[in-house]
Structure 1
Amino acid sequence: MKNKLMLVFMAIALTMVSCSQDRIEEPSQNETAEVSRPYNALNYLELVPMLEHYDKTRKPVLEEALGYEDTRMNYYSIETIENYLKYVKTLSREKGIKFTGINFVSAAYPENTGHGVPNYQNLLLMPTTEINGKNISFDPVQSTSEKIVTVKEMLASYGYNWVYDSKEDYDSRNKPNELVQRNFQNRSKSSDVESGAGNRGQISPPY
């Protein structure tokens, strides 16, 4: 009889432990998280002159060249940003790569774009990692645990010369690169592969 009672009590105890592990503890309504102001947060006397300077030095030039006002805002929902960061963090962690940040890169939708608005500017999101002490855009999809594949390498394989990783690259941007030129000529024969870059935000203008 005692053995049976002990078994019953053990079963109840195990059930209670299991339930307590499955239960999600909700934070108390009275708890307030202490958040300090980020170092990159702006005051309005910093913000307004930056917007005005863009209006004076960039907007008129772009409007004259394009014939319309180009994109000013790129919107990404919180869910989109969080999902993208989680994806890149997971891939980087699995491959043992240090994920240091995101480069926001200016681009423009081509005439035959499959998404977005043709001819309007947009932003590309490119993950970065530290290489030789610099934050370099890399591809977490094409990289492996043995080798970090940079965006520069991937773009070169499609015939695009990426010159923004270093001053040396930028200073020699006008020098012909035979490999890039050859890959550019053969781009139509290249197979398409997934990249680690992000896009597909909502832009405005146009409205």
Structure 2
Amino acid sequence: MLSNGQETNKVSTIKGKPRGYFQKVLAVDCETTGLVVNVDDPSYNPKTKEEYQAISWGLVVADAETFKPIEKMYIEIQWNGVALWDNRAQKIHGLSKEHLATNGFTEAEAVEAMGTLIMKHWGPNVSIRLLGHNVATFDMWFLKRIFRRHNIDLTFGSRHIDTSSIGFVNWGTYSSDELFSMMGYEDRGKHNALDDALMSLESARVTRLLFNKCLEE
């Protein structure tokens, strides 16, 4: 899971389980100082050197079969003084530089805390499967970047659970706001990373539950 760049992606050999079986998922969401558009990595543009920072994280370790939470973490991070700051992003999450300076952890402290949680549940050799809204195209990039800034490479699996796709295919939704509303959640107002990770996890759980009920009928 934590490596020096040499990835290990062990295939499950658990008796009675399908090939590629995994026991846990990491539901994740982050709020950021902004994002780079029209590039693969929304956290950094290598041509223009435009860079943004994740300033809060919600992590939920969950059972991959039931989608029930096992352990969760919320962490806010001080602005590093280097990343660009887009006021439009601040309007979404409501986190100011001043608030983070008083209440946030340093990036090094955040990496240590998140890394400890991940190591506890995945260890050094098991690749991580993520769950979240646009998780592979947004949150995973920011997660890689914050750890790489501290010389740590996380090893991810090749399959992740994107609730954006779940929402579009199964519920006809185009945004997390729409999907979470379909799940019965009230308007969330300012985005909170842990709340969003939990709502994404619950969206996956409810969708699977209803699908299984339909199969039984």
TM-score tier after normalising by the smaller chain length: under 0.3
State TM-score, norm by structure 2. Answer: 0.23
The TM-score, its normalising length taken from structure 1, stands at: 0.24
Relative to total residues, which structure has the larger strand share, 1 or 2? 2
Larger Rg: 1
Higher relative contact order (CA 8 A, sep 6+): 2
